[in-house]
Amino acid sequence: MDGHTRILTLQNGYHVWTRQVGRGPTPVLLLHGGPGATHEYLENLADYIPLDEFTLYYYDQLGSFHSDQPDDFGLWTVERFRNEVNEVRQSLGLERFILYGQSWGGMLAQEYALCYPEQLQGVVISNMVASIQDYVRYLSVLRQQLPPALQEEMAAFERAEDYFNPRYLEIMDLLYRRHLCRLSEWPAAVNRSFARMAYDVYGTMQGPNEFLVTGTFKNWDRWEDLHRIQVPTLLLVGAHDTMDPESVKDMGRRIPNAETVVCPSGSHLAMWDDPDHYFPPLIRFLRRVGQS
């Protein structure tokens, strides 16, 4: 991916990797998921978003592959990551910008819009609901769509905390290919991001995998605060997502200036498995908000 790379120094002395792609007048700061994934699975945004109209700022959050990876589990909190986003924004000199967050990045985007709205032109919340309990509830719905025998096997492995058993991983792969990315061959950028997952960060905050949440952010909930997000907001979700499309629609009703898009063939990575429905509304939103 072409662009200009900068390593930024945070106030705590650690370093994070950033890359500027494009030369358009409207800056868009991109927040990847995980926690602990990398920017790489978002690389295809630069293939669709017009780079003469927008400048994309990718960055690997602290702990992720291209940034520093400190051995300090006290760093892995929602509040510190939210404040890190503002530090990155300041270091990049973004005084008016659009914030895009996908999955965990969408959780951070909600946090940022609530706590640091002053510089925001708009916010994109992609493939994320407004509470972890809502996410967990819907995971149970998706798990129950498996044959009963597979459900029982999963539960047995989880009771034993045998999360790396080959058979358990086989069942996880089945769920991931239904709800994480529905392409028969996963793109190289997605595979790289998964291969480089920072499991100390992910395990601390999320848990063992996408279908079992045991980590420290399990009580996160912003449903009652959504009405305070006043900036223009775009909500994107896949019909086959790990996030409940009906919950995302409810978010759109609670956020005052929001638009909601459900990608009919998409999963959690709808930018890859349903780009025809993902990118046109995203680009329209970016153009509309960028001109305001």
Tokens at residue 269, please? 């990575």
Cα 112–chain centre separation? 13
State the number of CA atoms in the 13 A half-sphere of 114 facing the CB.
Answer: 19
* Strands lying side by side in the sheet with 120-126: 4-9, 15-21, 54-60, 26-31, 97-102, 120-126, 233-238, 258-263
Tokens of 184: 């028969």
Active-site residues: which are they? 103, 241, 268
Kindly tell me the sign of the dihedral angle through the C-alpha atoms of 154, 195, 262, 236.
positive
